[in-house]
Structure 1
Amino acid sequence: MLTEKELIQIRRQLHQIPELALQEKQTCSYLKEIIARLPQSYLSLKTLPQLPTALLVRVQGRKPHRTIGYRADIDALPVKEETDLEFASQHEGLMHACGHDLHMTVALGILSYYSEHQPQDNLVFFFQPAEESESGGQQAYEQGAFTGEFQVDEIYALHDTPQLPAGLIGCRLGTLFAGTTEVDVDFLGQGGHAAYPQRAKDMIVAAAAFIEQVQTIISRNVDPIEGGVITFGKLRAGTIRNVIAGEAHLEGTIRGLTQKMIELIDTRLQTIAAGIGQSFEAQVQVHLRQGGYWPVENNPRLTQKFIQQMQADPQVKYQETQPAMTGEDFGYLIAQIPGTMFWLGVGETGALHSSTFNPDERAIEAGVHAVISYLQIRMQEEEI
């Protein structure tokens, strides 16, 4: 089994070679190199021709009741690193600012253990490209990643967080991450002279009315106990102060804790847009893009088992956490396959997605132990 020292070195090597979504060629090659060094008796690999940086590794169980999946994302962000680490990013303008280098390392630690200690159940490790953008989880699923011998009955994943102490495990029943949807709205009216508003159809006013009415969706259509977010961060309209804008373009994001909630918000947005179009005699076109960024709604039965094991293990520090409004494309996978996502604390080392993010590497061994601890108990249970 890979030692803690070896895992730290692997994490540092991965940290130096960050790559954007769907471009993770060097990362994928390095993962294959590490996996090739492990005992191969129980291992088999699978790649996807249309998603070449995706990598699946199957571990044959000795007497399987089920096949358990474990996912680790592998892409990085377009962030210029400012940590001054000896092992800082060697790729200018790119950084593992979300900790996917640590995610991969924990997965390799778990895989290395089971490459030497044959598990009772089959295991499938999914090193997934394009989590930060491009919906890599959805792409892989739709391209048949989990078919044949690689079909899984349940799936697990972690995400690191600087909001918890290094090595602490956080989880909750229900939603862990919100789902997200990108929103673009185009307003098409009639431009004109500022002195003759009656001859134009002002799309700045229409956009303003739309934005104001949309604020009622969260306050009057969404259960206040559940919550939701609609934020418009970009509005583009007009050319000069004395010309009425005949067009406007609005960009924003929706966040919701359940897929049902997101679909409700989507419907209300489109209804309001239709009303604004009638009121201002304009065309109002709403474009919604969710892709694979569904809410991470943890499976109740499996999550309860996971939490119970975390609480029972004297080597694990566990804490119940609140849902986060950030997005994660594991939500799509968990909507197709029962499973659980949890947090791994990495200490207060800079915010996620920031140029100074530097997770405490002591979290690696804690994450490896927690997952192995859970899997050992889970594989003793006969029911799927």
Structure 2
Amino acid sequence: MATLTTDELIQIRRDLHRIPELALQEVKTHAYLLNVIQQMDQTHLEIMVPSELPTAIFVRVAGRNPQRTIGYRTDIDALPVEEATGLPFASTHPGKMHACGHDIHMTVALGILSYFSEHQPMDNLVFFFQPAEESENGGKLAYDLGLFSGQWRPDEFYGFHDNPDLPTGVIGCRNGTLFAGTTEVNIDVIGQSGHAAFPQNANDAVVAASALVMQAQTIISRSIDPIQSGVLTFGLMQGGTIRNVIAGSVRLEGTIRGLTQTMIETIDQRLTDICRGIELTYGVTVNLELNQGGYWPVENDPALTTRFIDYMQSNPAVQFQETAPAMTGEDFGFLLAKFPGTMFWLGVEDDSPLHAATFTPHEEAIQAGVDAMTGFLTMRMQEN
């Protein structure tokens, strides 16, 4: 099989778009990917499907004179979104859609892999087709299972996310943080219910929870450097049953976003301190649960990212744009905390945002992404 053509890549993207699957359920997607990979020249390829993470695929391309192993990651799962694009190749799975462009991500990865299956690279390459990016933090799962060991351990790691706000085919990147890290916040405030007319015989969880929310808003304004950015938002507050009964418990659910792991840990600690203070002040019990999992900030490695940006800026075939940090989350951040590397944007120019039911990325971006990365990786392998 020769290197995949542009038309073949577009057909692959459309095939994948038809069969979106949620985190850790990517059975059809896995089978489709494996079939495409197995049709490539296998001379320098080795495929691993880990039994511990059965919808993941690892592919190693043996280098002809390797100095390092370079990793490349793509995510493969979809979102619980009912598609409303009206495309002839729309999702055939009700309530599921590739609304975040992972079909584009997978197709670009296959294009890069196809190229290097026909043009043996200088260094070893490891491609990681990762399940469960949208939830269940598949990158962390793979790491914790020890799957990045031995010949499957990358010395450096690369990956991208499509971006509807950038023109089609534009490569966007920056040194430092590309994506914020995220932490889910769950808080239960437990007081004592009672009659609304006798507050002295109860302990109002609504009052305590309200104070907690207001105090928590001072974390960003008073504990975080104003030159940097952080977010603490409570999107859910539930408590009480009827107007004349004092609520004995309140549930709060929210999210923390931070541009560095240190910042997130600072916000976590300040929120923990405030919860303890609310317990003492209001005589309630406050149960705080912080769940970050693998959704760490995507912090690009300075040296590797400088090299990446220099290549993209100097290549006349590439349109490059330096981008600002985004407050959206991406679980590639966990892997970049374990292996140096770079994440970048690929412009797909669409009026609809990521996760929208009408998201329709421009397919012309696929070949642009393949060309940019095969060129960069070839250049990178020529360096010491």
TM-score higher than 0.5 here?
yes
- Given the alignment of the two structures, is residue 60 of structure 1 paired with residue 62 of structure 2, yes or no? yes
- Given the alignment of the two structures, is residue 5 of structure 1 paired with residue 10 of structure 2, yes or no? no
For residues 212-234 of structure 1, the C-alpha deviation after alignment (integer angstroms, 9 at most, x for no partner) is 00000000000011110000000
Aligned to 1:217: 219
Partners of 2:147 and 2:134 in 1: how far apart? 19
Partners of 2:359 and 2:140 in 1: how far apart? 27
Q: Counterpart of 2:164 in structure 1: which amino acid? A: P
For residues 16-54 of structure 1, the C-alpha deviation after alignment (integer angstroms, 9 at most, x for no partner) is 000000000100000000001110000001122111001
- Given the alignment of the two structures, is residue 131 of structure 1 paired with residue 118 of structure 2, yes or no? no
Aligned to 2:320: 318
- Given the alignment of the two structures, is residue 95 of structure 1 paired with residue 97 of structure 2, yes or no? yes
1:334-349 equivalences in 2 (<5 Å): 334-349=336-351
Secondary structure of 1:218 counterpart: helix
Partners of 1:245 and 1:109 in 2: how far apart? 58
- Given the alignment of the two structures, is residue 153 of structure 1 paired with residue 155 of structure 2, yes or no? yes
How far is the alpha carbon of 1:126 from its aligned partner? 0.3
Aligned to 2:186: 184
Secondary structure of 1:48 counterpart: coil
CA contact (8 A) 2:350 2:359 kept: no
CA contact (8 A) 1:48 1:143 kept: no
Partners of 2:99 and 2:266 in 1: how far apart? 33
Partners of 1:223 and 1:213 in 2: how far apart? 18
Aligned to 2:122: 120
- Given the alignment of the two structures, is residue 307 of structure 1 paired with residue 341 of structure 2, yes or no? no
CA contact (8 A) 1:349 1:360 kept: no
Aligned to 1:172: 174
Number of equivalences? 382
Partners of 2:172 and 2:81 in 1: how far apart? 27
Aligned to 1:327: 329
Aligned to 1:21: 23
Partners of 2:148 and 2:47 in 1: how far apart? 12
Q: Counterpart of 2:382 in structure 1: which amino acid? A: Q
How far is the alpha carbon of 1:374 from its aligned partner? 0.7
Q: Counterpart of 1:35 in structure 2: which amino acid? A: I
For residues 230-269 of structure 1, the C-alpha deviation after alignment (integer angstroms, 9 at most, x for no partner) is 0000011000000000111100000000000000000000
Secondary structure of 1:126 counterpart: strand
Q: Counterpart of 1:175 in structure 2: which amino acid? A: T
Partners of 1:151 and 1:247 in 2: how far apart? 48
How far is the alpha carbon of 1:59 from its aligned partner? 0.2
CA contact (8 A) 1:77 1:94 kept: yes
Secondary structure of 2:56 counterpart: strand
Q: Counterpart of 2:301 in structure 1: which amino acid? A: N
Secondary structure of 2:151 counterpart: helix
Partners of 2:100 and 2:229 in 1: how far apart? 25
Q: Counterpart of 1:256 in structure 2: which amino acid? A: G
Aligned to 1:144: 146
- Choose from 223, 231, 234 the match for 2:233: 231
Aligned to 2:85: 83
- Choose from 354, 373, 376 the match for 2:356: 354
- Given the alignment of the two structures, is residue 242 of structure 1 paired with residue 241 of structure 2, yes or no? no
How far is the alpha carbon of 1:94 from its aligned partner? 0.3
- Given the alignment of the two structures, is residue 270 of structure 1 paired with residue 272 of structure 2, yes or no? yes
User: Identity of aligned pairs, percent?
Assistant: 63
Structure 1: gaps spanning 5 or more residues: none
Secondary structure of 2:184 counterpart: strand
Q: Counterpart of 1:17 in structure 2: which amino acid? A: I
Partners of 1:277 and 1:125 in 2: how far apart? 49
How far is the alpha carbon of 1:109 from its aligned partner? 0.2
Partners of 1:279 and 1:324 in 2: how far apart? 37
Structure 2: gaps spanning 5 or more residues: none
Aligned to 1:260: 262
Partners of 2:143 and 2:281 in 1: how far apart? 43
Aligned to 1:41: 43
Aligned to 2:365: 363
Partners of 1:247 and 1:10 in 2: how far apart? 51
Partners of 1:70 and 1:30 in 2: how far apart? 19
Q: Counterpart of 1:339 in structure 2: which amino acid? A: G
Partners of 2:162 and 2:146 in 1: how far apart? 28
How far is the alpha carbon of 1:339 from its aligned partner? 0.3
Partners of 2:106 and 2:147 in 1: how far apart? 18
Secondary structure of 1:51 counterpart: coil
Partners of 2:383 and 2:96 in 1: how far apart? 43
RMSD: 0.5
How far is the alpha carbon of 1:151 from its aligned partner? 1.1
TM-score by length of 1: 0.99
How far is the alpha carbon of 1:349 from its aligned partner? 4.0
Partners of 1:298 and 1:360 in 2: how far apart? 26
